[in-house]
Structure 1
């Protein structure tokens, strides 16, 4: 007898932490859906090739490998000799899930910081200026590379090709947050002590996002459900990046792609039963004003540094911005603001200072690689 299993069922099992599923004739999808090529092939080559790169290409490559919300890869990069201009790509904005643009510009800040970190060990001294043409310009940052490197950030630079978002379960082992960066000029990290209350708020915000048809549809449009989508787009979220157990991931890839409703249900379940249930600690990047473009980029620079430092320590790191996405969405639509008050109470400071947030812990599983666009596709000059 052949046992039939929908991808929805596989993902439900994954959300409950069950990694063994039965599969039948749907195994025919394995070859075409990348079951045996996870993390390999052209969309992943930069992760494997970066360590062997040198010069300006190595610095730019570090920027393309930077963490960024939803893996939208929001950058366009112009290179002229030792000058790197990092531009915002407005086509990669998510106006429903990121109404204020905070995640978009924080992601650009992540790219800037990755390049600044990589520059020293690559033999350069970087000078970074934000919005040299003003905050109304798409030119977010200019990085001028002068000869003369430094080994100061070598440990963080070495972590660049190993840094991945880990959405899987974490162990119960505590995390010594004192070993992580406390902040940079213009941005700080605030560690949340009331984890239960924050976890409940994350779940509630996730439920609100999936109940909002426009937010749900926009988020789902960035999910690459099979290898063909990955090869075509080279961005977005993938099954490999969901933190599934090996057999569950194998089954999910062989089965027909889940619907948006199924994906939303899985996300809520995973948020409740994996992400918030196993977080060892929550951190929030805080700035003076989350609507200020320069502050958004600066906060992103700290976010990148935090993620690389966590990677160097062997910690899992997972960006979780559902609460702030709902705050911005309610403000943009004129709906009731149901999250700012509680967000501010958890932070112990105004909600307008909490830019982006994350969970960390000791991961039970190795994080999957995310696809990346080619340098030639994002750079000019």
Structure 2
């Protein structure tokens, strides 16, 4: 569930001057339009069951592919993976796909309970079934955080998180079958940072990885709103570019050395790292890892923290044993998040509920 950034320098401003502001806006749309769009996506929960699913789709997911399908029955909501949204270069065994499903399942349970549909989510191999009964709506402490959570890919301010808040985060992520290791020791953070950089180098030398990543980047608000998915460039603090120009900039300016420096600064500015480890390496446990990760992210959001995935050490299989050694486990690590106090950036796009529903 990784996210890369695009280094565009001052080229965007120069081309804007050449083309003219009107033509530029016609090609890219405006951030004002995009902010209105994301505000609608993150509107408060209504009692409608479609709104419960809307909240589920605001979960973290790999490359913002939103690889899920929902089916509503009389007293249940079923979630299945959408294989058409696989990312085989970065995720050849569909690990992130099932983690994404688990993240959405965590949101679903919170929103459904708040809407007056308390219940229980069960995992049947590759499917999640949320069976509920109908009561009155009630408060859910993490509900508001669903619309505020984001992967904030910027530098943070370096402040430490209070010990009591770290304990709260650990408790929020408690899911049977999943361990959470919170790393704040500078030496271990630096060692994991080095793995992130080695993994980033390996991925950026992989032509298939780079093609797949580029295919999911949305270089401007108009493209992001039209597709409702993908990695919106402005969500990483990058300028808006027409799609064709953005592709050229990606090919010419997206370099490993620059990205490595960026990752080093971002991790150094973070308060710590969170590593999730499931008991087994199978779809059911990957879904559980996603549930734990999403609950951690929502609690972090409630506490005023920002987060971002730095998953290179789990995506590059050769690096997993060293990451496991650093966090003192013999099992396969599933996810790596950095966390800390930082700014709010533009939110990611989402597809309409009608596009993720199955009959």
So what's the TM-score if we normalise by structure 1? 0.82
Structure 1 residues 263 and 145, CA gap change in structure 2 (3 angstroms):
farther
CA distances 1:230-278 after superposition (whole Å, capped 9, x unpaired): 1332111011211x2xxxx45x5479312235235454342233x2231
What RMSD over aligned residues (CA atoms) do the two structures have, in Å?
A: 2.6
Alignment-derived partner of residue 264 in structure 2: 272
CA distances 1:292-335 after superposition (whole Å, capped 9, x unpaired): 111000000011101110111110011121111111xxxxxxxx
CA distances 1:330-379 after superposition (whole Å, capped 9, x unpaired): xxxxxxx3x133212211112x331111000000x212110000001111
Alignment-derived partner of residue 63 in structure 1: 56
Which structure 2 residues correspond to residues 113-132 of structure 1 after superposition, within 5 A?
113-131=106-124
Alignment-derived partner of residue 203 in structure 2: 209
Report the 3-state secondary structure (helix = DSSP H, G, I; strand = E; otherwise coil) of the residue aligned with 1:191. strand
5+ long unaligned stretches in structure 1: 1-5, 13-19, 328-336
Alignment-derived partner of residue 179 in structure 1: 168
Are 1:75 and 2:62 counterparts?
A: no
Residue of structure 1 aligned with 2:284, choices 294, 301, 318 = 294
Are 1:305 and 2:285 counterparts?
A: no
Alignment-derived partner of residue 32 in structure 2: 37
Alignment-derived partner of residue 17 in structure 1: none
Is this contact kept in 2: 1:281–1:360, CA < 8 A? yes
176-185 or 186-195, larger mean C-alpha shift:
176-185
Alignment-derived partner of residue 9 in structure 1: 9
- C-alpha deviation, 1:161, in angstroms: 1.0
**Distance across 1 between alignment mates of 2:11 and 2:96:** 27
Residue of structure 2 aligned with 1:349, choices 315, 323, 329 = 329
Structure 1 residues 272 and 23, CA gap change in structure 2 (3 angstroms):
farther
**Distance across 2 between alignment mates of 1:38 and 1:166:** 21
- C-alpha deviation, 1:7, in angstroms: 6.7
**Distance across 2 between alignment mates of 1:92 and 1:22:** 33
Which structure 2 residues correspond to residues 1-381 of structure 1 after superposition, within 5 A?
8-10=8-10, 24-26=17-19, 28=21, 29-37=24-32, 39-42=34-37, 44=38, 46-49=40-43, 51-131=44-124, 135=125, 140-148=127-135, 151=138, 154-176=140-162, 177-182=166-171, 183-192=174-183, 193=185, 194-242=188-236, 244=237, 249-250=238-239, 252-253=240-241, 256-257=245-246, 258-265=249-256, 267-273=259-265, 275-289=266-280, 291-327=281-317, 337=318, 339-350=319-330, 352-363=331-342, 365-381=343-359
**Distance across 2 between alignment mates of 1:318 and 1:167:** 6
**Distance across 1 between alignment mates of 2:16 and 2:7:** 10
Structure 1 residues 57 and 173, CA gap change in structure 2 (3 angstroms):
same
**Distance across 1 between alignment mates of 2:20 and 2:154:** 24
Is this contact kept in 1: 2:122–2:128, CA < 8 A? yes
Give aligned pairs, total: 340
Report the 3-state secondary structure (helix = DSSP H, G, I; strand = E; otherwise coil) of the residue aligned with 1:98. coil
5+ long unaligned stretches in structure 2: 1-5
Structure 1 residues 125 and 214, CA gap change in structure 2 (3 angstroms):
same
Report the 3-state secondary structure (helix = DSSP H, G, I; strand = E; otherwise coil) of the residue aligned with 1:241. helix
Is this contact kept in 1: 2:320–2:333, CA < 8 A? no
253-262 or 371-380, larger mean C-alpha shift:
253-262
**Distance across 1 between alignment mates of 2:285 and 2:350:** 26
- C-alpha deviation, 1:228, in angstroms: 3.8
- C-alpha deviation, 1:10, in angstroms: 3.9
**Distance across 2 between alignment mates of 1:163 and 1:56:** 21
Is this contact kept in 1: 2:46–2:115, CA < 8 A? no
Is this contact kept in 1: 2:159–2:270, CA < 8 A? no
Is this contact kept in 2: 1:97–1:215, CA < 8 A? yes
Report the 3-state secondary structure (helix = DSSP H, G, I; strand = E; otherwise coil) of the residue aligned with 1:167. coil
Alignment-derived partner of residue 3 in structure 2: none
Is this contact kept in 2: 1:172–1:278, CA < 8 A? yes
Is this contact kept in 2: 1:165–1:319, CA < 8 A? yes
- C-alpha deviation, 1:25, in angstroms: 3.2
- C-alpha deviation, 1:57, in angstroms: 2.1
